[in-house]
C-alpha cells in the first residue's frame, strides 16, 4: 500500500519496535509485525496486534512497571 504519511513510499511487511507510555509507565515491544514504509519508516500495525499490545501494556501498568521491555510473540 502507499504510505498514508509521506504519500511517496510503499509499505511491506516487517517487524518494528513499538513504545507505549502512560503516566510513569513505559512499555517497549520488540519484533512487532507491521507494514513499514520503505521511504519514511512509518509503521502501521494491524488491529488485532494493536489490541494485544494494549492488553499487555495495561497489565504492565497495573503491575506498577516503570519500564518494561517485551518481545512480541503471537
Is 5 part of a structural domain of the chain?
no
pLDDT value at residue 73: 79
Q: Which domain holds residue 35?
A: 11-71
Is 1 part of a structural domain of the chain?
no
Is 15 part of a structural domain of the chain?
yes
Is 30 part of a structural domain of the chain?
yes
Q: Does residue 74 have a pLDDT over 70?
A: no
In this prediction, residues 56-74 reach a mean pLDDT of: 92
Domain CATH for 44: 3.10.20
56 neighbors 70 (Cβ within 8 angstroms): yes
Residue 50's alpha-carbon distances to 7, 8, 28, 39, 54, in angstroms, are 23, 25, 13, 23, 6
Q: Give the chain's domain count.
A: 1
* Model pLDDT for residues 3-53, shown as the tens digit of each residue: 999 999 999 999 999 999 988 999 999 999 999 999 999 999 999 999 999
Is 48 part of a structural domain of the chain?
yes
Is 42 part of a structural domain of the chain?
yes
Amino acid at each position: 500500500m502507499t504510505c498514508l504519511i509521506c504519500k511517496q513510499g510503499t509499505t511491506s511487511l516487517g517487524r518494528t519496535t513499538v513504545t507505549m507510555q502512560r503516566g510513569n509507565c513505559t512499555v517497549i515491544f520488540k519484533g512487532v509485525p507491521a507494514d513499514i514504509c520503505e521511504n519514511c519508516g512509518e509503521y502501521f500495525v494491524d488491529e488485532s496486534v494493536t489490541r494485544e499490545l494494549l492488553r499487555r501494556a495495561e497489565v504492565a501498568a497495573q503491575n506498577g512497571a516503570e519500564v518494561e521491555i517485551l518481545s512480541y510473540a503471537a
